[in-house]
Amino acid sequence: MNARGKTAGFIVAFMLASAACSVAVAAQRAASDDAQAVDKMRAAIAANAERALAKQGGSKILFKVDAAALREAVVTELRDDVYRTVREGRIPFSALAMRDGGVEVRIAEPKDRQRVLAKLVPSTKDSPSGAQTISVTDSGDGLIRLMPTEAAFAERLRELVRQSGEMIDQRLRNAGIRDASQQPDGADRIRVLLPGVRDPERVSATLGKRGRVTFRLVDVSVIAALALKGPVPPTSEILYHFKTREPSVVLKEIAMEGDDIIDASPLIDSQTQQPIASFRLNARGARRFATITQENITKPFAIVVDDQVLSESVISEPITGGSAIISGNFTLEDANNVAMLVRSGALPGRLSVVDQQVVEPVATAGKQ
């Protein structure tokens, strides 16, 4: 590791998608096994928050997730999957487009259409819910239309609500707001209880903010410690590391935005048994990331979220797998915080406030 890496105290280990996904699958299975216990715990926290709210007053906020942005993201992912499938299979195609909530593509040969559908349309036994996830319409002239089913979209919407709730939990903890709780409220809403908090507007502004993830090159012409004492090149700026608070000089120019990140989660590395954070890119993001890393081999590279440097490492080879793992002597809490920060920029759309109100204590309300 070079001196800059030692100063930062971070090592970023990039792995192929297959390795990252194998760990992720195991983690998802474990999470599924614990789902009932988590639900019970959340119910208990919500009950405690209700009692605290009745006793001391506070605030309630009702958020709505962006279902329209999610639907667009789901269809975009499907289009990217179609494009990747026909390109990798060297299948002639034309007229690939997103239209009216679905994806259309023209494939002349019937056998090629079947190859594409076999790749893209999973059987119901492979679906987590046991329902069909993609509906297919074949016009008979080579044009096929694929559309996410409502059952598949409902599953993705539940996942978005869950991830948004986890982000809210983390931000409440980071803000030092105790005894608060969040619970799903209907298909696309989240109710937040804030005992003792009398200014819901301030909290809702913090909770509804979407993180911004960027990938940026490090300015190797400047030593960070010296940059603190002297002028910084106009094309660069000083940012601080998430964990160590050490300074780093990064280019202002953004090599890539994080809009193509699909998900991020804390994991345990199966080899080192150390906590890590992993994120996945969609097909478009994987291609862009591969190009950027190919063009910048031997250069130090930073992942930045909301002006915090999450990681910094020298690119040793092109990253083509579409997945990356971030490690840096993390505790489990560190890994969870990193994943939450990345995921806050990956969630489709924004949380919008449906309602917020100040709640008086029950005793006070009774006297009035």
**What fold does the segment set 68-149 form as a domain?**
Aspartate Aminotransferase, domain 1 (3.90.1150)
Torsion of Cα atoms, 329 then 335 then 337 then 340, to 10°:
140
What's the whole-number average pLDDT of the chain? Answer: 83
pLDDT grade for 354, boundaries at 50, 70 and 90: very high
**Is 60 exceeded by the pLDDT of residue 22?**
no
**Is 80 exceeded by the pLDDT of residue 34?**
no
- Lowest-pLDDT range, 37-51, 64-78, 244-258, 273-287? 37-51
Judge contact between 240 and 8, C-beta under 8 A: no
**Is 90 exceeded by the pLDDT of residue 98?**
yes
Express each pLDDT in 120-130 by its tens digit. Answer: 887 544 555 55
pLDDT score for 363: 59
Full DSSP string of 235-284? TEEEEEETTT--EEEEESS-SEESTTEEEEEEEE-TTT--EEEEEEE-HH
What does the alpha-carbon distance between residue 192 and residue 45 come to, in Å, rounded to a whole number? 11
What does the alpha-carbon distance between residue 146 and residue 154 come to, in Å, rounded to a whole number? 17
pLDDT: is 64 or 11 the higher one? 64
**Is 50 exceeded by the pLDDT of residue 217?**
yes
Task: Choose which CATH entry (3.40.190.10, 3.40.50.720, 3.30.1360.200, 3.20.20.70) describes domain 3-33+211-346.
Answer: 3.30.1360.200
Q: Enumerate the domain spans of the chain.
A: 3-33+211-346, 68-149
pLDDT score for 128: 54
Environment class of 234 (CB within 10 Å of its CB; exposed 0-12, middle 13-18, buried 19+): exposed
pLDDT grade for 244, boundaries at 50, 70 and 90: confident
Assess whether the region 3-33+211-346 and the region 68-149 belong to the same CATH fold.
Answer: no
pLDDT grade for 355, boundaries at 50, 70 and 90: very high
Share of residues in the chain with pLDDT > 70 (%): 85
**Is 80 exceeded by the pLDDT of residue 4?**
no
pLDDT score for 26: 47
Q: In what side-by-side order are the strands of the sheet with 323-327?
A: 11-13, 323-327, 275-281, 261-268
pLDDT score for 219: 94
Environment class of 257 (CB within 10 Å of its CB; exposed 0-12, middle 13-18, buried 19+): middle
Q: What is the mean pLDDT of residues 54-73?
A: 93
What does the alpha-carbon distance between residue 140 and residue 122 come to, in Å, rounded to a whole number? 21
Contacts of 84 (CB under 8 A, 6+ apart): 283
**Is 90 exceeded by the pLDDT of residue 208?**
no
**Is 50 exceeded by the pLDDT of residue 1?**
no
pLDDT score for 35: 58
Q: Amino acid letter at 118?
A: A
Does this model's pTM top 0.85? My answer is no
Contacts of 206 (CB under 8 A, 6+ apart): 171, 175
Express each pLDDT in 135-187 by its tens digit. Answer: 999 888 899 999 999 999 999 999 899 889 988 888 888 788 888 999 999 99
- Give me the phi and psi of 148, to 5 degrees please: -60, 135
pLDDT grade for 14, boundaries at 50, 70 and 90: very low
Q: How far is CA 52 from CA 44, 47, 171, 246, in A?
A: 12, 9, 20, 40
pLDDT: is 348 or 201 the higher one? 201
